[in-house]
Chains A and B, each alone.
Chain A
Amino acid sequence: MNLTVNGVDTTIESGPLTSLLDVLREELGITSAKAGCEQGGCGACTVLVNGASRRSCLTPVASIDGAAVTTVEGLGSPEHMSPVQQAFTHHYAAQCGFCTSGMMMAAQAYIEGGGSDDHEAIQEALGGHVCRCTGYVKIIDAVAAVARGESFDLSVTAAGTAMTNIGGMA
């Protein structure tokens, strides 16, 4: 079997019924997709398959032979983050980070599908993703900001309003 993973043509050695999640994590060493529930219930394993968000834990790799798979690593690099990655950073939308890869992939699909900044629409689109830490507020704010086409100057995020109390740049 073959997959195009983050733009790279890759031959897959795992058996046909191996989950895409296990292929990514165990065979290819791409660990951004998290093994949360492995039952389709939490969203932590979400990746894009041919541009659509998909639970990699419930996807036998044979069922997507030849497909293009995108993980967080394929969105951008630390030096060149995608708008979704920038927004999550700027809005402090991650705490422990376990849900974050899946949230960002779902957000990416939502934005690519022309999603609006309407909070209810975002809640609906990302509703299957569980986050234990953030209370969702800043995640929704981040996705809404991308939907509005906002841009973020991350060089001032660290020194911005969050740090004016202590330790920020003067």
Chain B
Amino acid sequence: MTTQYKQVFGRPESLKDVATHFCPGCHHGTIHRLCAEAMDALDIQQRTIGVASVGCSVFLYGYFDIDVVEAPHGRAPAVATGVKRVRKDDVVFTYQGDGDLAAIGTAEIIHAANRGEAITVIFVNNTTYGMTGGQMAPTTLPQQRTSTSPTGRDVANDGYPIRMAELLAGLEGVAYSTRVAVDSPQHIIAAGKAIHHAFDCQVKSGGFSFVEVLSTCPTNWGMDALKANARVASEMIPYFPLGVFKDAACAEEGA
């Protein structure tokens, strides 16, 4: 009797067979994988164009086997607008950190969303500036210590962490806005579905879709991988609740 083996888990086609440069315990790698799985499942790899931002994820083209344009810091939604207006039938997405999207690029994300650009935005919120060495981000939590908030974020001086998924959900142009996490198997499965749905929104109804993913930065948080992972549930989710904040244009397609 011969045994039939079926591969149930492997590297997504859309992802290259290379080791990433991400630090141990960093969630960027997991989020990359979920995006690649969505591209595979929707069979869009050959017509997807990525727009890389400035931050730890700048090497998008090093990991995804797709065409990529590199944008200046914060400007990915504007670059993606230009790409998408020319390549109407392609799938265009940006992948941005919280410094990139919620600080220097605030105007670009709000207006791309408000125009209802048919793009997908993957927003990685790790409450800090990873690439530049752990400075305070617009998403840094109250009292969180960073290299530029050495005694903890003081909301009286620094203001409050921004909840981007909720903020964008209030805009008419947005089809889908959600916040997910990848700190547990359940959350990873849900995040994968959300990212799949976000790309699907773009493909099926041409809407602007936004997925905020809570992520870790063990290196700059000064934590080991496990402690950093645990912080997502203990500190981040209470301030940045998971959920779907808007699913308008894509609702009829079903999630």
Instruction: Decide whether A and B are members of one complex.
Output: no
Q: Residues of A with Cβ closer than 8 Å to B?
A: none
Residues of B within 8 A of A (CB): none
